[in-house]
Chains A and B, each alone.
Chain A
Amino acid sequence: DAGVIQSPRHEVTEMGQEVTLRCKPISGHNSLFWYRQTMMRGLELLIYFNNNVPIDDSGMPEDRFSAKMPNASFSTLKIQPSEPRDSAVYFCASSLHSTNEKLFFGSGTQLSVL
């Protein structure tokens, strides 16, 4: 299994631009999570899906952030418009089912907003 696949690995954009991060979870996993990691705040859960349905989006910082999971093998996290304070590493993770706490993380997307 290839594991959780995220793209792009690095994204550099200018303030105000739209950014889309992509994730392919492990096949057969029913839960998908988006985390953001910064030096100051560590790993923060933004949103998670169970069976493609958003369950908890209380961690999404603002309306500028949105996430979708149109099918079991693909999810996107979109920031529009982007701001410099959004600069961070964004991780996608998946787990077998909602009660399985062992998360498998992708390698992350390093986002820099200038």
Chain B
Amino acid sequence: EDQVTQSPEALRLQEGESSSLNCSYTVSGLRGLFWYRQDPGKGPEFLFTLYSAGEEKEKERLKATLTKKESFLHITAPKPEDSATYLCAAQTGTASKLTFGTGTRLQVTL
């Protein structure tokens, strides 16, 4: 059975304090690794897709990387508006079928 595990479950950072979120996956035939951001009371919002080990993508203060077993979401000098739950998901087999992790709740304080 495909599994996606995220850690930590929750993370509290001070503004400017960089850190990384982890997403480890055990799946058969990874087609893509996705990162989404979810704000309270809203649906997830797409951030990145990574397709092969060694690939990196950046967006503002966020950078996602991928290895053969895990993905990291690096947050550089975070701001309070980066507070959200970050979800990763693995796509395997059938097109568009994603297996999600349970997320990391990030809180950035002043």
Interfacial residues, chain A to chain B (CB-CB below 8 A): 4, 31, 33, 39-45, 48, 55-56, 91, 93, 95, 98-108
Contacts and interface: CB of A to CB of B under 8 A. Distances in A.
A72 B100 CA distance: 26
B45 A105 contact: yes
A103 B98 contact: yes
B54 interface: no
Nearest to B46: A102
Interface of B: 31-32, 34, 41-46, 49, 87, 89, 91, 94-103
A4 B44 CA distance: 12
B43 A107 contact: yes
A80 to B, nearest CB: 25
Contacts, number: 59
Given A48-B96, A56-B97, A100-B96, 14 more contacts: A42-B100, A42-B101, A42-B102, A43-B89, A45-B99, A55-B94, A99-B96, A101-B32, A101-B34, A101-B49, A102-B49, A105-B42, A107-B41, A108-B41
A31 B44 contact: no
A21 to B, nearest CB: 13
A108 B96 contact: no
A101 B31 CA distance: 10
A36 to B, nearest CB: 11
Contacts of A48: 96-97
B43 A45 contact: no
